[in-house]
Structure 1
Amino acid sequence: MTDAGTASAPRSRVRWRGVAAVRRTLLACFVFGQTLVACYYLLWVLPYHGETWLELAILGLFAVLYAWIAVGFWVAVFGFVLRLFGGDRYSLLRRHNEDRIEATPLARTAIVMPVYHEPVHWTLSGLKAVYRDLERTGRLEHFDFFILSDSRHPDVWLEEQGAWHRLVTELGAEGRLFYRRRPVNLNYKSGNVADFLRRWGRRYEYMVVLDADSLVSGDTLVRMVQLMELEPQIGILQTNPGIINGRSLFARLQQFANRFYSRLFATGLAAVQMGDAAFWGHNAIIRVEPFMRHCGLPKLRGPGIFGGPIMSHDFVEAAFIGRAGYEVWLEPGLDGSFEESPPTLTDELMRDNRWAKGNLQHLWLLLTAPRLRLAHRMAFLNGIMAYLASPLWLLFLICTTAEAARMTLAPIDYFPEGHQGLFPLWPEWRPEWALALALSTAVLLFLPKVLALVDAVIHRSTSGFGGVWRLVPGLVLEIAVSILLAPLRMLAHSRFVLAAFFNLSLKWAGQNRTDETTWSEALRSQLPGMIIGAGWSAFAWFLDRLFFYWSLPVALPLILAVPTSVLLSRVAIGEWLRFRGLLLVPEERAPLPILVDAQAFRAAPMPVSRLTPVERAILSPVANRLHGSLARDHRTATRGRFLDAAVATCLREGPGALSALALSQILQDQRSLAELHRQAWRALPSSYWGRCIRRLGQEDDA
């Protein structure tokens, strides 16, 4: 990482920083002003009006949480107002007319897809759809494609290599579609991209980063390059991906919420961030030269989780390129950018466990990284709060329960700690103020969803969601499920944060490897939350009936967590709602060609092999030549003895006798791979390889 060259960054031709300062100041005034009013109400709702340490803790936690949800509320309001008046005139697409954009020539661009143990056929079928859609634009000659593999298991990366070769042959993409598997998995995804840039980065002006589930239309890819050519001061241009292909009830709800609400939130977020936007790690275009110069990631030197390689790289790279004088923009108007949602709550929480650790690492950079722009520090804080808000909410519930227990079980303390004066402090109750405060919080949470409905009616876009009469029931269902899921996510995220800060490995259940959650899996994963919810609810009933009713919105979803988790994972329910016209999104009613292609390519039947990829790589002459051409000569005097011994073991006992690492090493060595092929074909019919040869013959006959 270097800071050289900051002064050479191109200057922005649009003076947006003053506008951004005004918008951010306005947002801060709304958020903090509203939070102060809410805290004033809470102060007088509390019986001792903040005169005890417990009440001060409640007030402090409430202030942080209320401000956190107020930010989201006002961002949505900004988006609603801007869309009401035709959009943000400072957005990239509105700076240039359509003819000028279309006339802009393209520059060489690499489309890179890092993969790690992904479903091979499904992933490469999506990339094939992107390739075909770009081909339809007539601009394919400006783009090259790279599959960057970090897969470690031989059966996976051998399958990747075979699928890549078939795809190159099918598309006629020789010299345009490349596969690279790096032998050392260093620094996660960012290390994989860095390896690509060191080898090939200087050949390209731009790179577009895709995830394994990403789809970006050809027209959008072309438009992204043209905008970067027109705006040389931009280092990263981020699209707003929509979620697609949801089948389970959970995935369809996430898909509907993303597609329906994101128009307001993305417009508002882009209007506040402007050229200091965040990078989400995929479905974005990057200017390669400044990215290579300024965005190398350092190893953190703090304690525990704050040491070692940076796990979540995207926000950090946006902050570093912004520090170098370049801009990062989110452009909500770039349609044709898509990703997919986890199919179940269990899968989502597994993903959140990884993301929580990466986002919490950013706390160290937030406090120690020099010369970062304030907006990017706020982006770090936003990502941290996405997970830290959960344990803060849990702590708030614990404190309010302790306050209720003290008022019920302990005698009234007329001179609480910290109280000054000669006269006693009488506890006061203001239930009407508490109700008003609860209603204001509900408005912050749910009014943006109502504004999204009003926005859809105003812009006559309800037909894409099945019309108003189908849209409203879907909206109600999404709100009800989001209420049910909030306490479940709170407990899970609290556990993730605790595990990250204390380097603990806490598990409530094994990994879900199916598309649907079974009852036993749900019980194992949700049982702790059910016990907590039931115990808290019973304690609230014992303390006070009114407090019991206040506890139900949190306790009841925890008690119902098992059936909620199971039913949300059901594909049949999701498909039934789709058949009834509920939770529809525009891409289902009028799918783009790239989505049609991706669905068709992924649904195409694959030939069923009687051999594993490892067995086929060793026995099949065609596969052996392919993998041998991608292998290297890794032999040294010491290493050669190890490889020879591993080859002998594999020939004698089969690949199962070797570890995945040892098997990978001999399959990456040209001489070892060729020797395995020769000797396996000489094996006795009764041996392991003799039986594999018979299966290969039966496969060829079929």
Structure 2
Amino acid sequence: MNDRAPQKLWRWRTVARIRRSLLALLVFGQTAIASYYLLWIMPYHGGTAVEIGLLVLFALLYAWIAVGFWTAVVGFVLRLMGGDKHSLLNRYSSDDLENTPLVKTAIVLPVYHEPVHWTFSGLKAVYHELECNGQIEHFEFFILSDSRNPEIWLEEQAKWHQLCDELGAHGRLFYRRRGVNLNYKSGNVADFLRRWGRRFKYMVVLDADSLMSGRTIVRMVQLMEREPQVGILQTNPSIINGQSLFARLQQFGNRLYSSLFATGIAAVQMGHAAFWGHNAILRVEPFMQHCGLRKLRGFGVFEGPIMSHDFVEAAYIGRAGYEVWLEPGLGESFEESPPTLADELSRDNRWAKGNLQHLWILCFGRRICLAHRMAFLNGIMAYVASPLWLAFLALTTVAAAELTLSPIEYFPAGHEGLFPLWPEWRPEWALTLALSTLALLFVPKFLAIIDAIIHGLAKGFGGPWRLFLSVWVEIVFSVLLAPIRMLAHSRFVIASLLNVSLSWAGQNRTEETGWREALITQAPGLIMGGSWAVFAWWLDVSFFIWSLPVAVPLILAAPTSVLLSRVRVGQAIRRAGLLLIPEELAPLPLLKNAAENRAQPASPWSIGRFEQAVLVPLVHQQQLALARPDRHSRRAVRLNSLVDQCIRTGPAALNKKQISELCQDRVALAELHRRAWIAPTESYWGQAIARL
């Protein structure tokens, strides 16, 4: 550690305490005022059980959105002042960083049933970036596969060989597929570290949809070299390549609003930032030493492997005395959005269970600092806020029904004495409270417009007027999507608490949502929204009008889901100059390169990947080199039987596990190759050879 480190450590911790205290004062002070307003808006001023429940739920939800509001305000003010002077980037001049030598760094790409050509083409673009920067000798690339489908992992291996040949990357670009994929992505990375971690000082983790420029990767390594106390350095990825309307909405909102929110979050968290699991650099030695994830020892969802590992790893490395920083100023870091609402909700289903597991660590984790505990709470609330909102709506309905259908209670439960409790209504206070709540939700969006204009970024969004219109389009669809997400997330939270098992699958990147799928998946929302609206109409016209912002989106959930998934609608919006982002109007060389790589068609074959591994000499030799040479006698008998069956009837008679066994055994694969090439012309293999 350099001589300045203790002083910097003391300074940022002091600044962080001041900022967090100020944020807490603003959030809880504003929440207390809003709760006071609600207390006096309610007819019995908290004198009934229903009103107490409403007050508690309102305070939790209001504080939750107030945190987001004040985080955006902090980000807006800091950007107005030229950035956070306490950030890592602002500690050093460009010359200081440029003169910092690089060290051996691994770039790892965990994959699981991803589109192979698309994913590997993105990695090729990242490799090419570092090569063009003249820094490739400091980096090695590792593709870490957990794929189980032999058609996919055989394609992965073939594409890896192809990339090595194209890039001249033999000895620099590696591929490994685990035989047993324990503990999801974190287990895959842990397997890599056990085998090769000691060779590297740093590790950059990518996702299948990640792209990072060579300049950003190099700058991250240089910052880590300058700051030996930093264990994880996280960038803020921008969403790109949105084609459907849904994806375009996501990437526009991310690109415009994240400048404020990321700057604000980084300024408050400072060296206690969260880790999002990708587009980040990790110091390998302390990560290996302190971030091993034991299985949870609780019950239900709180038992077994940790699914959302990233926040936990940040907390553990922070517990070991290392810092975790988010540095929005790095830039040129990208990822992609799920193309449809259905795909986003499928992903959220997994994330909800993983984030709820953090409740166990939040309560029982030892020596975890308060800031990381708050990060756990923030992630939990991202999903728990939905059932809280649903409960708030339910209690509101109960309160409205009581006021309409039941006689006025002058002596509610808990209120005894000679004097009655007279119900009061304060409509002007209710209006003020509603406007303040709307301000928390929407003011940050318009601050982002002002920020873009001030910093000369509006042109990248199509100009100020198109930017303004785009924000309104995004607001309309945000209002439509909020109740749909609320209902879905509520279901996910309940299912997680009941420990309903989940399947882990690769992300869909191309398919649109059909009407049948949308009607089936959104039917519960349609029934609930329609029933609630009918009941509200029967109960009271004013309550019916109040229910519409939630009921109407639920009723329209199916057509909304279908519309948002349509690529042609997204492209029409783009042609109209709306929902644009700067990377579309002036793409970086990295993005151009990745797009060109992905646009190149994959090599056409008239037979499947397994047939190629058996028949095509070059592919067969590559697979033999990767297969296991040794075999036990008992296993050999079974494999010989599978070879006989495969020759007689073809691979259709075998399941995926059996095909994988054949491909991974050198003797069995060689025997298949020999016998397939001498098979009769009318047999399956004879016809496959003819197709070649």
Give the TM bin, normalised by the shorter chain: over 0.9
Partner of 1:590 in structure 2? Answer: 586
Match of 2:520 among 504, 518, 524: 524
Q: Matched residues in 2 for 1:229 and 1:313: separation?
A: 25
Q: Matched residues in 1 for 2:418 and 2:498: separation?
A: 46
Partner of 1:168 in structure 2? Answer: 164
Q: Matched residues in 1 for 2:165 and 2:450: separation?
A: 50
Amino acid at match of 1:519: W
8 Å Cα contact 1:465-1:471 kept in structure 2:
yes
Partner of 2:412 in structure 1? Answer: 416
The Cα shift of 1:504 comes to 3.4
Give the match's secondary structure for 2:355. helix
Shift in alpha-carbon separation, 1:514–1:234, aligned structure 2, 3 A: closer
Shift in alpha-carbon separation, 1:10–1:638, aligned structure 2, 3 A: farther
Residue 694 in structure 1 maps to residue 690 in structure 2: yes
Amino acid at match of 2:92: H
Match of 1:609 among 596, 605, 609: 605
Shift in alpha-carbon separation, 1:437–1:506, aligned structure 2, 3 A: farther
Q: Matched residues in 2 for 1:77 and 1:257: separation?
A: 17
Partner of 1:665 in structure 2? Answer: 661
Q: Matched residues in 2 for 1:666 and 1:660: separation?
A: 10
Residue 581 in structure 1 maps to residue 577 in structure 2: yes
Partner of 2:54 in structure 1? Answer: 58
Q: State the TM-score, normalized to the length of structure 2.
A: 0.97
Q: Matched residues in 1 for 2:626 and 2:681: separation?
A: 30
Q: Matched residues in 1 for 2:627 and 2:6: separation?
A: 43
Match of 2:71 among 60, 75, 80: 75
8 Å Cα contact 1:12-1:233 kept in structure 2:
no
Moved more, 687-696 or 591-600: 687-696
Shift in alpha-carbon separation, 1:582–1:486, aligned structure 2, 3 A: same
8 Å Cα contact 1:391-1:494 kept in structure 2:
yes
Instruction: List per-residue Cα deviations over 1:565-608 (Å, max 9, x = no partner).
Output: 11111111111121121111111111110100000000012232
Shift in alpha-carbon separation, 1:291–1:346, aligned structure 2, 3 A: same
Q: Which runs of 4+ in 1 moved over 6 A?
A: none
Q: Matched residues in 2 for 1:421 and 1:278: separation?
A: 53
Partner of 2:154 in structure 1? Answer: 158
Q: How does 1:171-210 map to 2 (within 5 A)?
A: 171-210=167-206
Instruction: List per-residue Cα deviations over 1:628-687 (Å, max 9, x = no partner).
Output: 101113511222222122222211221121121121112111111111111111211111
8 Å Cα contact 1:357-1:500 kept in structure 2:
yes
Amino acid at match of 2:212: V
Residue 275 in structure 1 maps to residue 275 in structure 2: no
Match of 2:351 among 327, 348, 355: 355
Q: How does 1:266-665 map to 2 (within 5 A)?
A: 266-504=262-500, 515-665=511-661
Give the match's secondary structure for 2:311. helix
Q: Matched residues in 2 for 1:550 and 1:344: separation?
A: 29
Partner of 2:258 in structure 1? Answer: 262
Partner of 1:248 in structure 2? Answer: 244
Q: How does 1:118-133 map to 2 (within 5 A)?
A: 118-133=114-129
Partner of 1:32 in structure 2? Answer: 28
Partner of 1:232 in structure 2? Answer: 228
Q: Matched residues in 2 for 1:70 and 1:651: separation?
A: 66
Listed as ranges, the gaps of 5+ residues in structure 2 are none
Amino acid at match of 2:512: E
8 Å Cα contact 1:499-1:506 kept in structure 2:
no
Q: Matched residues in 2 for 1:633 and 1:56: separation?
A: 70
Q: Matched residues in 2 for 1:36 and 1:497: separation?
A: 28
8 Å Cα contact 2:350-2:502 kept in structure 1:
no
Amino acid at match of 1:464: G
Q: Matched residues in 2 for 1:475 and 1:194: separation?
A: 42
Q: Matched residues in 1 for 2:610 and 2:630: separation?
A: 19
Give the match's secondary structure for 1:333. helix
RMSD over aligned Cα, in angstroms? 1.4
8 Å Cα contact 1:11-1:233 kept in structure 2:
no
Q: Matched residues in 2 for 1:449 and 1:522: separation?
A: 29
Q: Matched residues in 2 for 1:659 and 1:345: separation?
A: 33
The Cα shift of 1:432 comes to 1.5
8 Å Cα contact 2:231-2:323 kept in structure 1:
yes
Give the match's secondary structure for 1:15. helix
Q: Matched residues in 2 for 1:329 and 1:506: separation?
A: 32
Give the match's secondary structure for 1:16. helix
Amino acid at match of 1:652: R
Q: Matched residues in 2 for 1:11 and 1:675: separation?
A: 68
The Cα shift of 1:421 comes to 2.5
8 Å Cα contact 1:279-1:318 kept in structure 2:
yes
Q: Matched residues in 2 for 1:633 and 1:308: separation?
A: 35
Match of 1:47 among 39, 43, 50: 43
Amino acid at match of 1:416: P
Partner of 1:699 in structure 2? Answer: none
Q: Matched residues in 2 for 1:645 and 1:505: separation?
A: 35
Q: Matched residues in 2 for 1:477 and 1:506: separation?
A: 34
8 Å Cα contact 2:339-2:509 kept in structure 1:
no
Give the match's secondary structure for 2:329. coil
The Cα shift of 1:325 comes to 0.2
Q: Matched residues in 2 for 1:538 and 1:30: separation?
A: 40
Instruction: List per-residue Cα deviations over 1:302-354 (Å, max 9, x = no partner).
Output: 11010000011000000000000000000000111000001110111011111
Amino acid at match of 1:37: I
Partner of 1:144 in structure 2? Answer: 140
8 Å Cα contact 2:339-2:510 kept in structure 1:
no
Q: Matched residues in 1 for 2:563 and 2:143: separation?
A: 36
Q: Percent identity?
A: 68
8 Å Cα contact 2:144-2:175 kept in structure 1:
yes
The Cα shift of 1:512 comes to 7.5
8 Å Cα contact 1:118-1:212 kept in structure 2:
yes
8 Å Cα contact 1:209-1:281 kept in structure 2:
yes
The Cα shift of 1:503 comes to 2.1
Shift in alpha-carbon separation, 1:671–1:196, aligned structure 2, 3 A: same
Give the match's secondary structure for 1:504. coil
Give the match's secondary structure for 2:11. coil
Shift in alpha-carbon separation, 1:534–1:657, aligned structure 2, 3 A: same
Q: Matched residues in 2 for 1:219 and 1:356: separation?
A: 34
Amino acid at match of 2:188: N
Listed as ranges, the gaps of 5+ residues in structure 1 are 1-8, 697-702
8 Å Cα contact 2:235-2:333 kept in structure 1:
yes
The Cα shift of 1:295 comes to 0.3
The Cα shift of 1:13 comes to 5.1
The Cα shift of 1:80 comes to 0.6
The Cα shift of 1:561 comes to 1.0
Amino acid at match of 1:433: W
Q: Matched residues in 1 for 2:510 and 2:126: separation?
A: 27
8 Å Cα contact 1:239-1:332 kept in structure 2:
yes
Give the match's secondary structure for 1:597. helix
8 Å Cα contact 1:618-1:676 kept in structure 2:
yes
Q: Matched residues in 1 for 2:45 and 2:624: separation?
A: 76
